Structure 1
Amino acid sequence: MHAKLPHPFDDATRVTPGDSNWQGHTSDDYWAFVGPFGGVTAATILRALIDHPERAGDPLALTVNYCAPIAKGPFDLDVRLVKANRSSQHWSVELGQGCGEVATLATAVFAERRPSWEHRVARYPETKSFEQTMPFPKITASWANQYEFRFVEGEMRIGPLQAEPGSTYSKLWISDRTPRKLDMLSLMSMSDAFFGRVFHARRALVPFGTVSLTTYFHTDSEELAAEDITHVLATADAKIFHKSYGDQNAELWSPNGRLLATSTQIAYFKA
């Protein structure tokens, strides 16, 4: 009887624990144009924190600053608990390669979520179902082919430059191409799994890279496990492109109508 192979995502985000220095390795399956897909790098950092013996609670927020390109191969994660109190923890993680050159700097907040008053202001977007939408064709970057994108609205279209920029809004279903039950790690990665909004506006694949990404989690691991889902409904948009930098913001929803995470990022582009 053959042992079941790990899911490509779990293989890509695998970490080896240490005292403060943990180790990881880039994955060709999640490679972008000039380095690893930022979402899987963020998920690898989050895995090290979730697996840390001193960790308490669930992820509340993760900010990742991509300082320099990550080369193919191994990397170190310097994990440090900066501050802890009765209800939250604040962590710092530096991803380095070679002679300790920092390529990625991250901070995270974990918290014990307790029952409280609640008010769900955001409304679940109107949408066609996952089954009613068609998968987007595969593209060159290997990371994108690990996901299945089903656009409800705002499909990326590459074509001749036009006088008016294209819409930057998209509504789509995102799932792992090889189905995998959604957890905090895949939720983190999917919060970055959007084509650059500048691609939509310019209708062209221009040089692009995330500089800083923050994801906020609006569920805990127990609630997310109870959702028992393999795909999310996502919306993504932008507010401004100015002097080589533009923002992106996103929402990730459960098919059952729960807002699971929101994210915002600033990205470099050349156009």
Structure 2
Amino acid sequence: MRFREAMMMEEQDDGRLVASFDRSWWVVNGPNGGIIAALLIRAAQHYLGGDRCVRTATTHFLAAPKEGPVHLEVSVEREGRIASFATVRMTQDNQHIATALIAAAEMEIVSHEWEQRNLPTLPAIDETWMMESNSHDVPLRSRWEQRWGLGVPGVPETSTVPGGYEAGGWVRLSEPEPYDEAVLAAMADCWVPAVMVHSDVAVHTPTLELTVQFRTDPRNIDLRGDDYCAAIFRQLSGREGFIDETGEIWSPDGHLLVLSRQIGVVLPRPDETVGPWEFVRS
């Protein structure tokens, strides 16, 4: 299922939206959190309109959905001169799956701009690594083209924090589509969790909460659907059974597109869900 197909939804007579999940975007126990967040953003935009860029979306994940239809209830909380706010609630078979708080905003006059972060230093796309493993329960991996250039296991020169749990590189949809907030939200949760490749412990890390902040409207810059973006993710703290992850996504010409942060729970996973990690030079 292509990304645009995963985002399809229909409005019912009662105002709710209906979408559907299949295993195309699955990780171990259900659909990837990024695809859920993307669907909630699209639902909010259905009622808020697309004139204003989504600036922030915070999603709490209450339960993993199954394959099949889900319902999306959107409440427009306020539509102001600069910003609009919506709450989106996803349910399946009367079970609460996820809730998102979403704000879309636009400024007519911008008086001052600056960016003091730097585009990550990554190898050229043809000098990166590709991850190969037999991942029977992770169809998500085939939905993205990922070229590793940060935190490659066994290649210490690709790390910025010695021994740090970090991962990233160049990424795009395997079936490219125009960039928008939903694509970027999904991208913010697309990478293999760093703890899974840098630790000898067999774990997976379901997300409890994901916040995605959109720092540049992708429609306002020269960014084609087949362009790779630079994505970096760091999980530098694991405490009391939970990890925090920070992320950045940049356009190839140096525009900061997304800042992300999430809290995940560290759970044991069956060894057979992921084969041996292997990284080969592309």
The TM-score bracket by the shorter chain reads 0.7 to 0.9
SS of the residue corresponding to residue 47 of structure 1 reads helix
2:11 counterpart residue number: 17
The answer as to whether partners of 2:54 and 2:102 remain within 8 angstroms in 1 is yes
SS of the residue corresponding to residue 185 of structure 1 reads helix
1:4 counterpart residue number: none
TM-score, normalization by structure 1: 0.87
1:60 counterpart residue number: 55
The 2-side partners of 1:55 and 1:128 are apart by 35
2:215 counterpart residue number: 218
2:75 counterpart residue number: 80
CA 229–116 in structure 1, closer or farther in 2 if over 3 Å, else same:
farther
1:229, CA displacement in angstroms? 4.5
The 2-side partners of 1:107 and 1:205 are apart by 33
Q: Return 5+ residue gaps in structure 2 as ranges.
A: 155-161, 269-282
- More contact order relative to length (CA 8 Å, sep ≥ 6): 2
SS of the residue corresponding to residue 189 of structure 1 reads helix
2:98 counterpart residue number: 104
Amino acid at match of 2:209: S
CA 178–205 in structure 1, closer or farther in 2 if over 3 Å, else same:
farther
1:113 counterpart residue number: 107
The 2-side partners of 1:130 and 1:181 are apart by 20
Aligned residues: 256
The answer as to whether partners of 2:70 and 2:90 remain within 8 angstroms in 1 is yes
The answer as to whether partners of 1:166 and 1:203 remain within 8 angstroms in 2 is no
2:157 counterpart residue number: none
The 2-side partners of 1:155 and 1:39 are apart by 23
Amino acid at match of 2:166: Y
1:182, CA displacement in angstroms? 2.3
1:204-250 CA distance string (max 9 Å, x none):
441320000000001124314x3225321011102311111110010
The CA RMSD measured in Å over matched residues stands at 2.0
Which consecutive aligned stretches of 4+ in structure 1 deviate over 3 angstroms post-superposition? 53-56
1:136 counterpart residue number: 131
The answer as to whether partners of 1:168 and 1:238 remain within 8 angstroms in 2 is yes
1:42 counterpart residue number: 37
Amino acid at match of 2:114: H
Matches within 5 A, 1:93-242: 93-98=88-93, 100-114=94-108, 115-137=110-132, 139-140=134-135, 141-155=138-152, 166-224=163-221, 226-230=222-226, 231-242=228-239
The 2-side partners of 1:129 and 1:75 are apart by 41
1:270, CA displacement in angstroms? 2.6
The 2-side partners of 1:166 and 1:12 are apart by 37
The 2-side partners of 1:10 and 1:138 are apart by 27
1:67-96 CA distance string (max 9 Å, x none):
112111100001110122111011100000
CA 209–53 in structure 1, closer or farther in 2 if over 3 Å, else same:
closer
The 2-side partners of 1:53 and 1:202 are apart by 43
1:135, CA displacement in angstroms? 3.0
